[in-house]
Structure 1
Amino acid sequence: MEQFADFAAAVTDSGVPAGLRRRAAHRVLDVLGNALAASTLPISRTITAVVDSWGGHPAATAVGGGRYPAPSAALVNGTLAHALDFDDTHLPSVLHPSASIVPAALAAAEVVGASGTALLDAATVGTELCVRLGMAGYDEDLRNSIFFERGQHATAICGAVGAAVAAAMLHQMDSAGISSAAGIAASMGSGLLEANRTGGTVKQIHTGWAAHAGLVAADMARAGITGPPTVLEGRFGFFQAWCGNDAHPEHVVKGLGETWDSREIHIKPYPCNHFTHAGIDAALQLRASGVQPQDIAELELGAPTAVLRTIAQPIEAKAAPSTGYAAAFSGPYTIAAALTGGDGLGVWLSDFTDQAAHDPQRRNLAATVRCVADPWCDELFPRHFPAVLRARTRDGQRHEIRIKTNRGGPDRPLSAEELGTKFRLEAQLALPHDAIEALRDAVLTLDSTGSVKEVMALIGRSDGSAG
């Protein structure tokens, strides 16, 4: 950890390349759009009620307009950033880094009055550590995350450590302080994935809790509490505890400063589990070819073996999801939504309401989807999230569509127009019209003239409803 802390301290002084700052600004915009949209959900009222009951000095702004201690604001914003499953993903670690790192960095930046460039630098380095931790726990033979294989939510576990580093950088801590903040946060990260399979809303708060833990860890380090220098690679350290002997701790510092794993982050066009996206892309192509829902007799979704546990099992629950949130983790339902919906960038928030999840047409269509492991998809996963959609229509015609890599990643990035569309559609659910473009402009100029103070003031105008 000390070597990475040295790197982080150096970046505090020298900054990151301009291109990385620009990428970070796009991720900040995406996080804020996701959080603003989620501020209309019950989880927003629930988590806000929790932090209201805690009280404390109002130092940082939460989406919804409240002001709280920085860890509490980060808990609210981090929870909302992930609540719709619309947050970005790094491949092949399958982490959602920005939903923890960005809220933590925003809260710390507001407290210390940091510049826009300092915010983006800290968010970039915190994100880089988060995904490097995830990659160190990636098994090339399994072609899957060791964390995931063990039922652990690496997003939250690694996110807490990355959030601590970002916060420590914004507090201008030296290398020893950054190392201690990370070492403390490593004892705080947690998260299990069982809710993906059988229900429960706890996963929505995982990223918020990681952001909260990172800020608390940085505060503790500033107060003099220390973390072990071997917190990552030690006999009783991070990797041994979470991944056993199968991890590769050396990846955390391999090529540090020369290669950036965070370049492989995908921004989501659809508000649902990322494993479903290639199937959605395929269904949208099938629809564009002229095939209508009423024409379909049978559908087969071929996917990587590893993702079937998340999007296809148990099949009874996935074919008839009980809630809109559960529908976001269903391969059969998201195929049906892509063939019948069409808002936003193809599948939108309106497709994941409880009412939509119980729509008879969608349920009947989802019931025709058979999910199978596909060898071609297994070869590509998880550096890509592929899918093969096969359809038989009632007139006997057969169609096959292969998607190697889904929209939103380095190979198929969303355009500036698509990113803007996503943000505006989300933000209009919570902000008055005049604030939406002002917030967008403030975020996208953080690498030059933009102000963190202005960004947070505009966020404070949100109240969970369109103004």
Structure 2
Amino acid sequence: MDAGDGDPGLTGHLAAFLSDLTYARLPQEADGLLKGMLLDVLGTTLAANTLSGAARQVVELALQEGGTPQSTVLGFGGKVPVLMGAFANGALAHALNYDDWGEGGIHAGATTVPAALAVAEHLGGIGGRQLLTALAAAAELECRLAAAIVRTGAQGRWVLGQLVGYFGAAVAAGRVLGLDRQQMHSALGLALAQAAGTMQMVVEGDPPAKSIYAAFPNQAGVLSAWLAKGGLGAQCSALEGEAGLLAAYLGLEGPFPDLLQGLGEEFYLTRVRFKPWPVSGIVQPFLEGALELSQRYRLETSAIARVHVSGGEHIRPWCEPLPLRRRPPNPAAASDSIPYAVAKALVQGDFGLADLTDEGLQREDALQVAERVTYAIEPHLGESALLTVVTWGGDRYAARVDTPLGHPRRPVSYRRLAEKFRRCAAYAAHPLPPDRLQAVVDMVERLEELEDVTALIALLTGDGA
């Protein structure tokens, strides 16, 4: 049944929940995760200031276009119209693939924080609790959509992080704008009108533009919310309809009770994971296994004859095309490459942002090891990662990672996220002193006490007290 027939349908029910959610209803676990997500995105945004050429092109365009100064481009300091602010900061947030991730490869932080902050700065007077609630509603929708899609195996050739991000960004911006139930329903309909994101660029080895895909849902989400706030009606079965997201994009047929089950009681957003290393979530367990072998056995690069990795069908795009994955031409391709990350970890005993620079990409001893990396698809492994190193002398060393660091069962602490934030901030266009960085960490940790989140943005631009 369509929304216009009297029954609000799945989309309408979700819109009501998303517009009505209050900070008081959030469990403590969700509150802590949301603060970590915000700090994490702020850090990855600052790091991309100088480490992502693709994102820098977006920023230059935004600053050159000018317009009414409403939203700060984080790290750079200039203000642009709110739509371009969401666009530029969205491009920066995910450009290094170092932000949080979740089921199906979604990136809830990178596709919600820029939209919410852009609107909050423009409006002024938006408190920390309101921002956290906006992020909670948006992330919950993205995580539930991703879970429902992944369970059916219908992801296909879509980049879910981008596709569901249009809806999450619309909710994030909509909650900051104070949309009511009907307006939120329309915002979701307007998001559907813009939703996109196929895997074609991933399949062809990640040209630079792939890294800035979070720009598009953030801008579209703000636009959707603002039009809905202004009264543009778009109430429809955006998610469950015969030409809605789940049917038209993914070939799924309703009903979809999973999207409503436990709503408001079980928060799927608590499944969000944080990355210890700047690579795709699919690459993380293989990188962790390589680091384990390197640190345990102190392998000499010259002794490594062959490296073999095995995983489920989901690892294929991160290993193919193999020649390109072994020698990635840009940071976006490198962060999505299992062979490159494994080789770097085995040679160096670590992996960091420096490995995504031009100099890092050209380290020849690591590239030589990458040339010796082979892979196999073994569906029975599921999400587990299996790694075997064979030396010229015939010795074999193996590592298996079933639950990588960052998984909800092995969470990354706020303290570790704060350390990551400081490392990322060192690459900002205008680096901030240690005391200013600590002030940001402390402010985010106590965000519920903040009366106006523009104070946080001021700290990041050097304008805070």
TM over 0.5: yes
When residues 339 and 246 of structure 1 are mapped into structure 2, their CA distance, relative to the original with a 3 A threshold, is farther
Residues 98, 127 of structure 1: 8 Å contact kept: yes
1:375-403: CA deviations, max 9, x gaps? 4423xx3xxxx211111123322121110
When residues 324 and 162 of structure 1 are mapped into structure 2, their CA distance, relative to the original with a 3 A threshold, is closer
Q: How does 1:236-251 map to 2 (within 5 A)?
A: 236-245=243-252, 249-251=256-258
2:432 alignment partner in structure 1: 432
2:5 alignment partner in structure 1: none
Residues 12, 172 of structure 1: 8 Å contact kept: no
Distance 1:295 1:247 in 2: 55
Of 53, 63, 67, the match for 1:56:
67
When residues 295 and 51 of structure 1 are mapped into structure 2, their CA distance, relative to the original with a 3 A threshold, is same
1:405 alignment partner in structure 2: 403
| 1:447 alignment partner, SS class | helix
| 1:89 alignment partner, SS class | coil
Residues 208, 330 of structure 2: 8 Å contact kept: no
Residues 44, 96 of structure 2: 8 Å contact kept: yes
When residues 79 and 289 of structure 1 are mapped into structure 2, their CA distance, relative to the original with a 3 A threshold, is same
Q: How does 1:43-442 map to 2 (within 5 A)?
A: 43-63=54-74, 64-91=76-103, 93-112=104-123, 113-140=125-152, 142=153, 146-147=154-155, 149=156, 151-198=157-204, 199-245=206-252, 249-292=256-299, 293-308=301-316, 310-342=317-349, 346-378=350-382, 381=383, 386-430=384-428, 431-433=431-433, 434-442=435-443
Query: Does 2:37 correspond to 1:31?
Result: no
CA RMSD of aligned residues (A): 1.9
- How far 1:52 moved relative to its partner? 2.8
Distance 2:99 2:122 in 1: 25
1:455 alignment partner in structure 2: 456
1:20 alignment partner in structure 2: 30
When residues 429 and 397 of structure 1 are mapped into structure 2, their CA distance, relative to the original with a 3 A threshold, is same
Residues 136, 247 of structure 1: 8 Å contact kept: no
When residues 244 and 376 of structure 1 are mapped into structure 2, their CA distance, relative to the original with a 3 A threshold, is closer
In structure 1, list runs of 5 or more residues that go unmatched. Answer: 463-467
Distance 1:183 1:197 in 2: 29
Q: TM-score, normalised by structure 1?
A: 0.91
When residues 248 and 155 of structure 1 are mapped into structure 2, their CA distance, relative to the original with a 3 A threshold, is farther
- How far 1:440 moved relative to its partner? 1.4
1:465 alignment partner in structure 2: none
When residues 13 and 393 of structure 1 are mapped into structure 2, their CA distance, relative to the original with a 3 A threshold, is closer
- How far 1:69 moved relative to its partner? 1.9
Query: For residue 274 of structure 1, what is the amino acid of its counterpart?
Result: G
Residues 23, 130 of structure 2: 8 Å contact kept: no
- How far 1:457 moved relative to its partner? 0.7
- How far 1:306 moved relative to its partner? 2.2
Query: For residue 5 of structure 1, what is the amino acid of its counterpart?
Result: A
- How far 1:15 moved relative to its partner? 5.0
Distance 1:457 1:176 in 2: 34
Query: For residue 79 of structure 2, what is the amino acid of its counterpart?
Result: R
Residues 403, 410 of structure 2: 8 Å contact kept: yes
Residues 21, 117 of structure 1: 8 Å contact kept: no
When residues 253 and 353 of structure 1 are mapped into structure 2, their CA distance, relative to the original with a 3 A threshold, is same
| 2:266 alignment partner, SS class | coil
Query: For residue 367 of structure 2, what is the amino acid of its counterpart?
Result: R
Identity within the alignment, %:
30
Residues 164, 213 of structure 1: 8 Å contact kept: yes
| 1:411 alignment partner, SS class | coil
Residues 70, 82 of structure 2: 8 Å contact kept: yes
Greater displacement, 285-294 / 365-374: 285-294
When residues 325 and 233 of structure 1 are mapped into structure 2, their CA distance, relative to the original with a 3 A threshold, is closer
Residues 39, 418 of structure 2: 8 Å contact kept: no
Distance 1:248 1:409 in 2: 30
| 2:252 alignment partner, SS class | helix
Residues 35, 82 of structure 1: 8 Å contact kept: yes
- How far 1:32 moved relative to its partner? 0.3
Q: TM-score, normalised by structure 2?
A: 0.91
Distance 1:11 1:453 in 2: 23
In structure 2, list runs of 5 or more residues that go unmatched. Answer: 1-10
1:434-462: CA deviations, max 9, x gaps? 32111111212112347412111122239
- How far 1:16 moved relative to its partner? 2.5
- How far 1:417 moved relative to its partner? 3.2
Distance 2:399 2:22 in 1: 47
1:210-263: CA deviations, max 9, x gaps? 011111011101111111331211112121111113576332222110111111
Residues 137, 248 of structure 1: 8 Å contact kept: no
